[in-house]
Amino acid sequence: MAASGFEEVEHTADWALRAQGASLEELLENAARGMLSLIGAKPGEGEATTWRLEIQGADAESLLVAWLDELLYRMETQRVTFGGMRIHVGPDQRLAAEIEERPLLRVGHPIKAVTYHNLAVEKTREGLTATVVFDV
Partner 1 sequence: MVRKQDLRRISPVLWEIPVSFRDDMRVPVRVYADEKLLEAALDDRSIEQAVNASTLPGLVGQVLVMPDVHQGYGFPIGGVAATRLPDGVISPGGIGYDINCGVRLMASSLRAEEAEPHLRDLAQALYANCPSGVGVKGSVPLTLKELDQVCRLGSEWALKNGYAQAEDLPRTEEGGRIQGADPDAVSSRAKERGRPQLGTLGAGNHFIEVDLVEKIYHPEAASVLGLAEGGLALQIHCGSRGFGHQVCSDYVREFQGAVQRYAIRLPDRELVCAPLNSPEGKRYLAAMACAANYAFANRQILAHHARRSFEQVFAGRLKGWPLRQVYDIAHNMGKIEDHAVGGQEMRVCVHRKGATRAFGPGFEGLPPDLRPLGQPVLVPGSMGTASWVLLGTEGSMAQSFGSTCHGAGRVMSRHAAKRAVRGDQLRRDLEARGIHIQAGSLPSLAEEAPQAYKEVDAVVDIVTQAGIAQKVARLKPVVVIKG
Task: Return residues touching partner 1 (CB under 8 A).
Answer: 8, 10-15, 58, 61-62, 65-66, 69, 73, 76-77, 106-110, 112-119, 133, 135-136
Q: Are strands 6-9 and 15-21 parallel, antiparallel or unpaired?
A: antiparallel
Q: What is the phi/psi pair of residue 119, to 5°?
A: -80, 125
Distance CA 96, CA 2 (A): 27
Of the two residues 84 and 110, which places its CB atom closer to partner 1 in the complex?
110
Q: For residue 40, is it left (φ>0), alpha (ψ between -120 and 50) or beta?
A: left
Q: Which C-beta is closer to partner 1: that of 41 or that of 128?
A: 41
CB of 116 to partner 1, least distance (A): 4
Minimum distance from residue 11 beta carbon to partner 1 (Å): 6
Minimal distance in Å, beta carbon 33 to partner 1? Answer: 18
